[in-house]
Chains A and B, each alone.
Chain A
Amino acid sequence: MKLGKDVAALKVQDLDGGERALGETWRERTAVLVFLRHFG
């Protein structure tokens, strides 16, 4: 399975409020992406 460009383009926010494309997280190295249930 390969993630499409549409998924890679989805925006998430960094902790300073900047937007980042999700795909940037795996652009240079393999990413272990942990989607948390919530922060509590």
Chain B
Amino acid sequence: MFCREQAVQLHRERDAIRRKGADLVFVGNGNRRFARGFRDEFAIEAPIYVDPELVAYRALEFSRPVLGLLNPKVWVAGARALGGGARQGAIQGDAFQLGGVLVVRKDGTVAYRFASATAGDHPPVTEVLAAL
């Protein structure tokens, strides 16, 4: 549900992202079959890659709190996502692994980094766009 909310929000801004000289790229931790289903269901036009071994997630220090789903902030975020029209699908990947957003320039400089502290903790889209 949360990942759908975030993906849809940022995907809506893909043209604005391109106009600012950047490309939108998704990385998920499920397998390729799950990723294809995700792409098709939401008509995602941006590239999608998978990292089922969580190698990049670990290297970029995105957290994986095993008890994270018990955090009350997650339930608040869930209500927000449901209110916005998101729905929970079958979990297709590692439910405990949290994600984040990076803006990386051509020379490898990280212009922006957001690491989710809980499920449903996403950066404001305006904040991401402002980093471009």
In the bound assembly, the distance between CA atoms of A11 and B113 in angstroms comes to 20
**Most chain B CB within a 10 A radius of its CB, from A13, A14, A16, A39:** A39
Q: Mark A25-39, 1 if CB is under 8 A from B, else 0.
A: 111111111111111
The complex places the Cα of A22 from the Cα of B33 at a distance, in Å, of: 20
Q: Which of B62, B105, B110 contacts A35 (CB 8 A)?
A: B62
CB atoms of A10 and B97 under 8 A apart: no
A and B contact pairs by CB, cutoff 8 A, 23 listed: A1-B110, A2-B108, A2-B109, A4-B108, A7-B60, A8-B108, A10-B56, A13-B52, A15-B39, A31-B23, A31-B102, A32-B102, A33-B103, A34-B6, A34-B26, A34-B27, A35-B60, A36-B26, A36-B27, A37-B119, A38-B91, A39-B92, A39-B93
**B-binding residues in A (CB < 8 A):** 1-4, 6-8, 10-17, 20, 22-23, 25-40
- Given known contacts A26-B108, A34-B25, A38-B92, what 5 new A-B pairs fall within 8 Å (CB)? A2-B107, A12-B49, A26-B106, A37-B29, A39-B28
**Closest 5 CB pairs between A and B?**
A38-B93, A35-B99, A30-B22, A12-B49, A39-B92
